[in-house]
Amino acid sequence: MRTPIIAGNWKMHLNRCQTAQLAGELKVGHKWPGQVEVVIAPPFTSLGTAAEVLQDTPISLAAQNVHPKDQGAFTGEISPVFLVELGCEYVIVGHSERREYFLESDDFINQKVKTLLAKNLKPILCVGERLEHREQNQHYDIVGEQVINGVAQIESTEMEKIVIAYEPVWAIGTGKVATSEQIDEMHLFIRKVIERRFNSDIAAKVRIQYGGSVKPDNAAEILGLPNVDGALVGGASLKTSDFLAIVKAC
Ligand code: PEP
């Protein structure tokens, strides 16, 4: 049995005061520990505040990015060591916004994945095709390649610690949701890719989240799909009632 995981990607929203407020409301409102894992990913500057509020709660903390090196002359970057110190458990890597605006390559993302595992941090590895890929029927090739490259040189014992988030780029922040059929087919495909690369036992353990305009009104349908093990939620994670409704649906 895979425990489903709902993660809120706050992106570049919410200062420390707003973080304390939302994290505090989630702490009180989360009534399903054990049944669903809940994770929030505030901006770096709010991680310390969120860690204090969520201490001794079942809600885990994720960072939205990391640098593959522990330290060095990398102005503006954040070391995985700092994230461990803050109490992070997960780190989002390969988000389409980082691939697009910061030109992050599969290889760079793979370096981050390896660093995180070495530090006992769990990667949430985002993959997903752009609209033109889907229109040209290249979506399986693109997503398969992102998965294989993202987990290059990973031992099978480490693979089950990685969460894959399938996020079709055309569905992120657009209000367009992939159909249930498109989502379940792609999740099944990703599991097959992991099975071919590792083995069926590992593939059965890896959790695959869907991300892309998940809201309270579509959460139950998406999260009820057989190959969906949770959601990575952007916009709807910024409102307590919406995020908790998605957790409840899960
Ligand atoms: C995301 O950015 O990971 C995301 C899924 O955003 P939204 O839910 O707003 O589409």
- Asked if pLDDT for residue 175 goes beyond 90, the answer is no
> Rounded to the nearest whole angstrom, what is the distance from the C-alpha of residue 178 to the centroid of ligand 1?
12
> Rounded to the nearest whole angstrom, what is the distance from the C-alpha of residue 105 to the centroid of ligand 1?
20
What's the mean pLDDT in 17-39?
96
> Rounded to the nearest whole angstrom, what is the distance from the C-alpha of residue 122 to the centroid of ligand 1?
19
Task: Please state, rounded to an integer, the average pLDDT across all residues of the chain.
Answer: 97
- Compute the chain's Rg from CA coordinates: 17
Q: Ligand 1: does its nearest atom lie under 6 Å from the Cβ of 235? A: yes
What's the mean pLDDT in 166-170?
96
Count the neighbouring beta carbons within 10 Å of the beta carbon of residue 87.
Answer: 15
Q: Nearest to residue 198, comparing CAs of 231, 154, 138?
A: 154
Q: Ligand 1: does its nearest atom lie under 6 Å from the Cβ of 213? A: yes
> Rounded to the nearest whole angstrom, what is the distance from the C-alpha of residue 242 to the centroid of ligand 1?
13
Q: Which atom of ligand 1 is nearest to the CA of 215?
A: 8
Mutate to test the pocket of ligand 1, among 213, 239, 242, 246 (most ligand atoms within 8 A of CB): 213
> Rounded to the nearest whole angstrom, what is the distance from the C-alpha of residue 233 to the centroid of ligand 1?
5
Instruction: Please give the CATH superfamily to which domain 5-249 belongs.
Output: Aldolase class I (3.20.20.70)
Mutate to test the pocket of ligand 1, among 64, 95, 174, 214 (most ligand atoms within 8 A of CB): 214
Q: Which atom of ligand 1 is nearest to the CA of 97?
A: 2
Predicted local confidence at residue 177, as pLDDT: 81
Report the residue count for the chain.
Answer: 250
Predicted local confidence at residue 144, as pLDDT: 98
Q: For residue 174, name the pLDDT band (cuts at 50, 70, 90).
A: confident
Tens digit of pLDDT for each residue in 72-124?
A: 999 999 999 999 999 999 999 999 999 999 999 999 999 999 999 999 999 99
The 3 state secondary structure assigned to the chain is: CCCCEEEEECCCCCCHHHHHHHHHHHHHHCCCCCCCEEEEECCHHHHHHHHHHCCCCCEEEEECCCCCCCCCCCCCCCCHHHHHHCCCCEEEECCHHHHHHCCCCHHHHHHHHHHHHHCCCEEEEEECCCHHHHHCCCHHHHHHHHHHHHCCCCCHHHHCCCEEEECCHHHCCCCCCCCHHHHHHHHHHHHHHHHHHCCHHHHHHCEEEEECCCCHHHHHHHHCCCCCCEEEECHHHHCHHHHHHHHHHC
Q: Nearest to residue 59, comparing CAs of 32, 92, 41, 37?
A: 37
Q: Output the residue whose Cα is nearest ligand 1's atom 1.
A: 234
Choosing from 30, 95, 133, 139, the catalytic residue is 95
Q: Please confirm, yes or no, whether 37 is among the known catalytic residues.
A: no
- The residues spanned by each domain of the chain are 5-249
What's the mean pLDDT in 214-234?
97
Q: Which atom of ligand 1 is nearest to the CA of 126?
A: 3
